[in-house]
Amino acid sequence: MSRDVSELPFRRAVGSTARGFETERADPAGHHVRLDAAVKRYGRTTALAGVDLEVEPGRFLVLLGRSGSGKSTIARVLGGVERLDGGALHLGGQLVEDRMRHLPPERRDLAMVFQDYALWPHLSAHGNVAYALRRRRLSAAETRMRAHEALDRVGLARLADRYPHQLSGGEQQRVALARAVVARPRLLLFDEPLSNLDADLREHLRVEIATLARECGATSVYITHDQAEAFALADEIAVMDSGRLVQVAPPEQVYHRPASPFVARFTGLAGELAGLVLAVSQSQAHVRVGDWVVPGQALGVRAGDAARVLIRPAATRLLPPQPTGSEGTLPGTVVDVAYRGRGYDHVVATPVGSLSAVFDGQPHPRGALVHVQVRPEGALVYPEEESRASRSSSGGDASKLTAVTLDTDAVAYRP
């Protein structure tokens, strides 16, 4: 994510909640968000190459993509600190942005939470939260009470008088969260808010963000490059690649029916096998891979096609060595084993390629002979050319990510 462009003007938008009114809204419903054919260029770089996106009121949308894919640009356009070069943005049915029109951030009824917290250093935690209420016509006592309640909601009431430099990173982000929701904006924008935090804190705050955003009824747009975070938080995931949205769907659909090999790779694979499609029936393809046959979901392949089988980790299972192989099982040797708390992830070298994150409750030592079962629900069969094209457009990043796996329980296949 580029940091240079998200500096001061955006920070001024933090906590801004007014729609030009000074009174409190009775209904806390979220904005309906609609981007039409949004184009944004920076010199010769096209950051948004015609993005159509719709988010229903109160829904939680996660924008997922690697660095530089255009996620922050979308957030900045929604936040009103970046102008569009083409297309239009509607919030709550109102045209707020096109080449002719620009509604300033403070009149969009939104709040933003950043990776680096962006608190006012000269204000206490309480002062930061109260500042977001400045446009509401509230008495001093009421402002104090509302700010206190919001801080209490994130577990920080007792630290209300501390200044940002006297708070840990996690505490600062909680203040930022309280500040974002205190005035009940219609849209919450989150730009990688957990990136600077330790793993255990990330998980805690993730749950708090999910709960608070839904409680306050706002529509949420959340940016991350972390697939596990995206799957855990989202009502819908929008996957971005090079300034385009390549799939917008609920997490289950992105996982089970990725729109392209790029999406499949970016959202976690155990490995890839090259083969030849023997037959396709009822959307299931049977693919010859070396001396074995692997069944999978036929995604645009026909009998006789050269194909690539992209395998989800949750669809693999480790078996003891089998006397005779059956369809969907491959022999192999364990080359690595890693303890994961609930059990063990194995890397298995098979004669046709390596598979990682093959789970079993018991460890199998390095060098052990095993079989890997691949269930067809999580074996995604794409035409070889499509798969190759997506690999080159996605650069080195995505192929590295094949080793990154989702928590197998988060989106598990049910046999």
Interface with ligand ADP, residue 193, by CB under 6 A:
no
Q: What token pair was written down for 337?
A: 């084993």
CB of 407 to ligand ADP, least distance (A): 24
Interface with ligand ADP, residue 395, by CB under 6 A:
no
CB of 190 to ligand ADP, least distance (A): 12
Interface with ligand ADP, residue 150, by CB under 6 A:
no
Cα 350 to Cα 400: distance, rounded to the nearest angstrom: 19
Q: Which helix (H) or strand (E) holds 180?
A: helix 169-181
Residue of 16, 69, 227, 408 that binds ligand ADP (CB under 6 A): 69
Q: How does DSSP classify residue 102?
A: B
Cα 275 to Cα 278: distance, rounded to the nearest angstrom: 9
Interface with ligand ADP, residue 21, by CB under 6 A:
no
Q: How does DSSP classify residue 326?
A: -
Interface with ligand ADP, residue 2, by CB under 6 A:
yes
Question: Could you say which residues in the range 167-186 bind ligand ADP, by CB under 6 A?
Answer: none
Interface with ligand ADP, residue 71, by CB under 6 A:
yes
Interface with ligand ADP, residue 72, by CB under 6 A:
yes
Residue pointed to by tokens 């000269």: 122
Residue 255: name the closest of 55, 405, 71, 67 by CA. 405
Residue 272: name the closest of 379, 177, 383, 198 by CA. 379
Query: How would you class 269 by CB atoms within 10 Å of its CB: exposed for 0-12, middle for 13-18, buried for 19 or more?
Result: buried
Residue of 7, 22, 37, 45 that binds ligand ADP (CB under 6 A): 45
Interface with ligand ADP, residue 227, by CB under 6 A:
no
Interface with ligand ADP, residue 115, by CB under 6 A:
no
Question: Could you say which residues in the range 73-102 bind ligand ADP, by CB under 6 A?
Answer: 73
Between 44 and 414, name the residue whose CB sits nearer to ligand ADP.
44
Distances in Å between the Cα of 169 and the Cα atoms of 17, 122, 227 are 24, 17, 22
User: Which part of the chain contacts ligand ADP (CB under 6 A), choosing from 67-75, 112-120, 197-205, 342-350?
Assistant: 67-75
Cα 116 to Cα 11: distance, rounded to the nearest angstrom: 11
Interface with ligand ADP, residue 65, by CB under 6 A:
yes
Over the window 23 to 42, marking each residue x when it contacts ligand ADP by CB under 6 A and - when it does not, the resulting string is -------------------x
CB of 39 to ligand ADP, least distance (A): 12
Interface with ligand ADP, residue 47, by CB under 6 A:
yes
Interface with ligand ADP, residue 197, by CB under 6 A:
no
Cα 189 to Cα 2: distance, rounded to the nearest angstrom: 16
CB of 140 to ligand ADP, least distance (A): 39
AA letter at 331:
P
Cα 69 to Cα 171: distance, rounded to the nearest angstrom: 30
Interface with ligand ADP, residue 68, by CB under 6 A:
yes
CB of 4 to ligand ADP, least distance (A): 6
Residue 359: name the closest of 295, 412, 296, 297 by CA. 412
Cα 141 to Cα 138: distance, rounded to the nearest angstrom: 8
> What is the binding site for ligand ADP (CB under 6 A)?
1-2, 5, 42, 45, 47, 65, 67-73
